[in-house]
Chain A
């Protein structure tokens, strides 16, 4: 009896230990071209508008494909990249992921971080995409992801506040500065820039310098294109925006909003802050907290000669498949549904920007859904000579360098000169390190 109990206990120990052992099975399941019964995890970030539309799209998928169940995992942007980073590094990531452009560099520097979607082309209709769009998701020879939409940051304003102030949307940088002085008299701000996860403060300063110099801040292959003087000019420009009451200082913003995002802040909802710089694909969360039709897209700011160069675009979101998925065909079929299915496109609308897929775009056009701020933003960007943002620019460590410089200039703990030199050397050293 005792021996049996001991044996059972020993067996239990072995089973529990073996269950926790690190098998490190990185073998990639090859596609077999058939769709089998399975469950797939699908993760994305976004605002409520995107969540609601995506859940409806998943319902439609489940009706059409009752054998393949999609398990949704979603949340806001803040902290999402960190969550995905830990899931990918521990091998527990979902089968299908909405990924950000810079994740291709951080999670798949050699192209082996995600499933090669070229191998799944029998399930995904890649012919719906331009080669340039597909190239965004390529790392080396491997197609790691497919871009959902191509988008850029544009300016959006609270039309009610502007009409109350009797002000037009600014067209040039000097209009914006003048507007700051005008709004300042009533204690209002025409725009808001942040140094949180969005990092719009540095972004706008980069656009201004790119427009003036024609140099790209960071080149597509990860070289720093700006000189110390350029960075100094960008930081000075940012300081000028604060001094002219165009935007709140970092201190005022932090005091008023704490750690909350702008679209959750009473200053934005109440109209004291009347403008925002946001991706066309993500502006829905700002639109939804204001009454219908209040938020409007404004023109891209130009120099006095009307040159609007320097504004940037990028694949706003991409879909990727985990390299560890046991169901690559099914995952690819779901991505195809999300990207190309006409009914699904109708449900999703422009919650992820204007679709890059031709079939989805024409479906939206047919149903008259190709409208709203995302569409206006797209049209505005299309009329300009935009540059494609380097994925290196959006890396978290890089954002930390920008935000440190902006914060120190705003608080006055460093002069523009030393902040620019510090940022130049930090960015340069880091880029050199990761390019190796």
Chain B
């Protein structure tokens, strides 16, 4: 590995391309730490948003109109307000209100915690609609057929509705999850130490804005690219010919 680090040092001294994240150990550690933060922030938010989406879709099938209205209100609120303002709202406003109610000094959650909550709710609002559309796309006759074969309603959901619905949802869900990775950069605004925030610190310390800017862009393209390829493979492998395109 040392050869690689030395090569980047040579690149700096010969060509003035200053990539400290490769030969300076301190910068390297914090930069890869930042990438790791982005990855697990994305994964946690994805999992939570899928959970919220499923719960919301289930609640939207409720027979009580007020429950459906509340879910609809939640969806419309998070879809039609800026994610950055939502994040500030949670981190500054809700946090201080909760702190004064519960009497906890110095905030209830950390900035990472609020980023997870805010981004999960944001992506979750889109997921609810996606899952609902998927469930609605399953033909009624299939559910009835399963019913007539003596399946319980839970079995119908597990063995008939869900396997078909998630194949229909997957393209839209993938789009939304990819969007979620891109939206995690917003956590920069509340000082979550993710890739963009750490890179900002590095280019402020080392005065290498153009190099770091390109590196950051490349890192995100790579992260999103990996997810896109993986998801497309998955989509292809589970496709049912003749069903939902």
- Chains A and B come from one and the same complex: no
Using a CB–CB cutoff of 8 Å, the interface residues on chain A facing chain B are none
Using a CB–CB cutoff of 8 Å, the interface residues on chain B facing chain A are none
